Amino acid sequence: MSSLNIGVVQVASFMEPGDGAKTKDTNLQTIFSNIEKLVFMNPTVDMIVFPELFLNGYDSTIWDEMAEPIPNGPTIQALCNKAKEVQKWIVPGSLVERGNDGKLYNTTLLISPEGEIKLKYRKVFIPYPLEVSSPGNEFPVFEIPGVGKVGFVICADGHYPESIRNLVMKGAELIIKPTLQGEWIGGLRNHTPIAITRAVENQCYVISVNQAGPAGMGNTVAVDPEGRIIEELNIQESFTFIYVDFEEVRRVRETGAFGMFGFLKMLKEFKEDGCNVDECYVNDISQAPVYNNLTFPHPKMPSDIIRYDLKKPTNV
């Protein structure tokens, strides 16, 4: 079997102002209830995916008290136990991790049906000053035995071609993107076209699972290797099932998108023919002329952080 039946859950985080414990516990129970519901409705589901920061919510002022180490945090262990109980792959969106260095990371996990963490990814492109976490520095992939290779990006990562291209160069065929994107961040003309573009240019599946309103704009979307939308939700809380055929990725990469454009094969061929297609990377992008007129440094954490409320974007 080289396919996955993926259940995606578009929900909005519960928030108890100033109470991280209640916020996290309530959202954890929502994850559990949705897992049980999807497994009951569709016993053949293989994987269940949730949005970015669903457990912790968008109030970064209480992230510090909610952060847990991975894999030994109590919430992490509860999620692993749940995956083992239902015998499904679980992607609990992303959550606030307390690293061994004491820093906070926006991290997503792939938990196996045996309750084991098979992949951990820390968000790299942090949208300062909106988010109080530190960036990761790796783009790992995991091969589900007998199925295919999976990689993660988180929300803003998807705006950078390098994120998914790094994963694809390592063989990723499915990109899962837990997301917390509001209507005010470009709306549909931003969220959906980016997912389509990343799928087409990398000839892979892209699934962006967003929070529902009011914090997120919903519109969870799944795109196939030729850029076709195969599933899309509206703004409200809802769920759907997506069939991902890894053989379709392999077919498109071999024979070409739209029956003619083998983008990845062409990239390799042109490079081997002497075309300097990766000039911007070989010559060090930090020295590129485009940066000459940009102001640095970019505002970073934790100095003078602007506390951000997604419900009041005009405050920033």
Q: What are phi and psi of 21, to 5 degrees?
A: -65, -45
- Per-residue pLDDT of 88-139, as tens digits, reads 999 999 999 999 999 999 999 999 999 999 999 999 999 988 888 999 999 9
- Per-residue pLDDT of 46-59, as tens digits, reads 999 999 999 999 88
| Residue 204 domain boundaries | 3-283+298-315
Domain for residue 290, yes or no?
A: no
Domain for residue 273, yes or no?
A: yes
Domain for residue 171, yes or no?
A: yes
CA distances from 151 to 45, 101, 120, 206, 292 (A): 19, 24, 10, 10, 33
Residue 30 CB contacts under 8 Å (≥ 6 apart), including other chains: 11, 14, 54
- Per-residue pLDDT of 21-36, as tens digits, reads 999 999 999 999 999 9
**Total count of domains within the chain:** 1
Domain for residue 36, yes or no?
A: yes
Domain for residue 288, yes or no?
A: no
- 315 band by pLDDT with thresholds 50, 70 and 90: very low
Residue 69 zone, left/alpha/beta (φ > 0; ψ -120 to 50; rest): beta
Query: What are the catalytic residues?
Result: 52, 123, 155
Choose among 185, 112, 134, 132: nearest CA to 155: 185
Domain for residue 151, yes or no?
A: yes
Whether 236 and 1 have beta carbons less than 8 Å apart is answered as: no
Residue 33 belongs to domain with CATH number: 3.60.110.10
**pTM to 2 decimals?**
0.93
- Per-residue pLDDT of 135-182, as tens digits, reads 999 999 999 999 999 999 999 999 999 999 999 999 999 999 999 999
- Per-residue pLDDT of 227-241, as tens digits, reads 999 999 999 999 999
Is 50 exceeded by the pLDDT of residue 308? no
DSSP alpha helices (H): ranges in 173-303? 188-202, 246-255, 263-272, 279-282
Domain for residue 292, yes or no?
A: no
Report the run of H or E that residue 31 belongs to, with start and end: helix 20-41
b/e map 26-50, b = 16+ CB within 10 Å: bbbebbeebbeebbeeeeebbbbbb
Domain for residue 293, yes or no?
A: no
